[in-house]
Amino acid sequence: MKPLSRRSALTLGGLGLASTVAGGAGLLWSQQTASPSATSSGFGAPSGDPLVQPPELRSADGRLKVRLDAAPGDVKISGRGATVLSYNGGVPGPTLRVQAGDTLNVSLHNGLNDPSNLHVHGLHVSPSDNGDNMFVTVKAGESFDYEYQLPPDHPPGVYWYHPHHHGFVADQVFGGLYGAIIVEDPTPIRATRERVLVISDITLDSLGRIPPVTPSEQMAGREGQLVLVNGQVNPVMTARPGERERWRIVNACVSRYLRLRLDGQELQLLGIDSGRFQTPGDVDEVVLLPGNRADLLVTAVSGTSIFQTLPYDRGGPNGMMGGMMGGGAGPSGQDAQSNPRGFSVATLTVSGDAMTALSAVPEQAVPPDLRSRPVTARRELTFGMGMGGMRGGSMMSFTINKEVFDADRTDTTVQADSIEEWTLTNTSQMDHPLHLHVWPMQLVEENGRAVELVVRQDVVNVPAGGRVKVRIAFDDFAGRTVYHCHILDHEDNGMMGVIEAK
């Protein structure tokens, strides 16, 4: 495997960056589309509070049993009351820690006013029955018992859970319904401490309520005016020089691409999604599409570093976003957390006596390179935007192969245990991050260029006007599930298809 280049911007094919463009395009255009009242709501004031970890629930004797209550409720953000949605009263919900081979039981209780359900994003588990079944509806006031059986060779790494009821996904995730899942390493990796960092975004008005989404925000894919980590605005972390921290990062934003930096510290990327590198590579920057996760090692260096997310230009419908970009923050005064160059997510302060360095990370097991395997079938998916079809109006519609989602139609039938190559073409002027359930993808080609880095990821970018190729091993499970754009507004408006493996 080709090693990651040393101290350079990470080029992970569909994850993003060919180079780090200084002063590049891609201002935070959501800030111009949002209601002016929200920009001065005051929720963005950094609190200086220490980063809080979500509660952790850990499996024992091969099983973890969890009850998740999804409900509206009040939380504190930047010390002020906000009315959001949460699992078990927290944003994010509890972190679920399991091991390969475990059984995870989740009893979901829907205390929302709308239908919901649960998805375990990235887990390689059965999509049938009471497994990771996308066709389950849990009506308001009802409950459902899920059981996920992780195979004994399930890849370690960072995963997450969130609602997945078509038509309600963006609202419910934006509202605060998400949590991390960690599949532990078969052989522990030494670190001084581990942090779970669930990054999300949200917009709150001056009363702490989430304003209704507008059709143009849905078209673009809504981006919140606040970027939260573990439900906090710019919290503080501290460490001593030489300490090695393990950061488990989840991009739980509905639409926002995260371009994460932590200048001044030493970063090594252990893996993305269910993909692991044999040896972690040094990186300066990690791009996470909506739904992606990073497993990152941070070796602390004296000083104060801002963990920030920089703007990312993901295009816009019909080029209209071009006109909205370049304005910078509104005159009403953006909250202190953000500026046209990005958002500070958290601050890391490193001081004190130096610790002795920990030993190098042992070689990690990596999945086979699917480029060396025979392809049994080829398929094309085309992502498009057209007029008509959006809920409640004749706005843009979002399609895959010219169809909007229909749960009763099976769009793609694949043979279990086969290896397919999919060509993903985007005819629209904005990027679409494609997510496939159950089976991770290996990006092999991007706009005609071969991708050498071997990594299994479950969300890949299909750039505006571009074309990428992925290979997929349909291992282990038969059943019906979905693939979709992980800009959840696009998914809710039809950019999703049904796949069946048999």
Q: Is 251 in a helix, a strand, or coil?
A: strand
For residue 234, what is the DSSP state?
Answer: S
For residue 372, what is the DSSP state?
Answer: G
User: Does 490 engage in binding with ligand C2O (CB under 6 A)?
Assistant: no
**Contact code string over 404-443 relative to ligand C2O, x by CB under 6 A:** -------------------------------x-x------
Cβ 172 to ligand C2O, closest distance in Å? 12
CB atoms within 10 A of CB 344: 20
Cβ 351 to Cu ion, closest distance in Å? 40
**Contact code string over 116-155 relative to Cu ion, x by CB under 5 A:** -----x----------------------------------
Among 34, 84, 219, 487, binds Cu ion (CB under 5 A): 487
User: Does 485 engage in binding with Cu ion (CB under 5 A)?
Assistant: yes
- The residues near 192 (Cβ < 8 Å, ≥ 6 apart) are 239, 243, 244, 245, 355, 358
Residue 277: both structure tokens together: 């590198």
User: Does 162 engage in binding with ligand C2O (CB under 6 A)?
Assistant: yes
User: Does 490 engage in binding with Cu ion (CB under 5 A)?
Assistant: yes
**Contact code string over 266-305 relative to ligand C2O, x by CB under 6 A:** -------------------------x--------------
Q: Using alpha carbons, list the distances in angstroms from residue 410 to 118, 403, 413, 472, 501.
A: 21, 11, 7, 18, 10
**Cβ closest to Cu ion, residue 7 vs residue 391:** 391
User: Does 166 engage in binding with Cu ion (CB under 5 A)?
Assistant: no
**Cβ closest to ligand C2O, residue 201 vs residue 335:** 201
Angle ∠(99,104,110) on CA atoms, nearest 5: 140
**Contact code string over 82-121 relative to ligand C2O, x by CB under 6 A:** -------------------------------------x-x
CA 178 – CA 155 distance, rounded (Å):
21
CA 313 – CA 101 distance, rounded (Å):
40
Find out whether 231 and 176 touch, Cβ atoms under 8 Å.
Answer: yes
Residue 490 binding: pick among Cu ion, ligand C2O, none (C-beta 5-8 Å cut-off by kind): Cu ion
Cβ 439 to ligand C2O, closest distance in Å? 13
Residue 440: both structure tokens together: 């991770």
- Residue tagged 């990073």 (tokens): 294
Find out whether 203 and 427 touch, Cβ atoms under 8 Å.
Answer: no
Question: Which strand (E) or helix (H) includes residue 169?
Answer: helix 169-175
Q: How many residues bind ligand C2O (CB under 6 A)?
A: 9
Sign of CA dihedral 28, 34, 39, 41: negative
**Contact code string over 431-470 relative to Cu ion, x by CB under 5 A:** -x----x---------------------------------
What is the contact surface with ligand C2O in residues (CB under 6 A)? 119, 121, 162, 164, 291, 435, 437, 484, 486
What is the contact surface with Cu ion in residues (CB under 5 A)? 121, 432, 437, 485, 487, 490
